[in-house]
Structure 1
């Protein structure tokens, strides 16, 4: 595999990806704002083409909307928004783990009893 393919993965057709100008227009912002946010928020990492163009996925757009809300509507600073996003990610990770554990328990409880196995009342 040539080194350029590792740096620039093949971009498959599928969900719509927006270039920086399109993404900025959709959000009502200037493209330089998105470039700046990319340097300030590690959660924001749009795909790059071989020519270096940014391509924003729907997940990236959701993150941009979240950042925009935190900064413009909630009035947080860049540092405050960054902290809020980090805290939110930690809570999401914790709750995802709990949800998976509960699913595993439900699967164990709904499994048919093995012959000779004693089930607790």
Structure 2
């Protein structure tokens, strides 16, 4: 876990910008400790770096960058679902092949 100061040093994004992103980017909510200090996980570090890239390099607004990240996450989930369906089909075809092969060899 990283503190907000460590995140500033690591990413070059100022604390006030990070706090603003918390308000406008869905899903960007670092945990807080008992004292209310923000603690960032590696997932949040990755998200911060992606937001920084989209905003500084691709010229997205913070809100637009948040929407882009949501779309990217949805595409990843859609691909994961598709891969799972392909694996299921492959297993069915393998089972059919083995069943037919066993039937032909026992005849």
TM norm. shorter chain > 0.5: yes
Query: 1:8-49: CA deviations, max 9, x gaps?
Result: xxxxxxxxx101110111011211111111111112121221
Q: CA RMSD, aligned part only?
A: 2.2
1:103 aligns with 2:87: yes
TM-score (norm 2): 0.81
TM-score (norm 1): 0.72
Q: Which residue of 2 aligns with 1:89?
A: 73
Q: Which residue of 1 aligns with 2:6?
A: 22
Instruction: Count the aligned residue pairs.
Output: 102
SS at match of 1:55: strand
Query: 1:77-116: CA deviations, max 9, x gaps?
Result: 12321221122122112111101111222233334539x8
Q: Take 1:50 and 1:34, find their aligned partners in 2: how far apart are those partners?
A: 20
Q: Which residue of 2 aligns with 1:50?
A: 34
Segments of 5+ residues of structure 1 without an aligned counterpart are 1-16
Judging by fraction of residues, say which structure has more helix.
2
Indicate the structure (1 or 2) with the bigger Cα radius of gyration.
2
SS at match of 2:39: strand
Change (3 A) 1:55 1:117: farther
Change (3 A) 1:117 1:46: farther
1:60 aligns with 2:44: yes
The answer to which structure, 1 or 2, has the higher relative contact order (CA under 8 A, 6+ apart) is 2
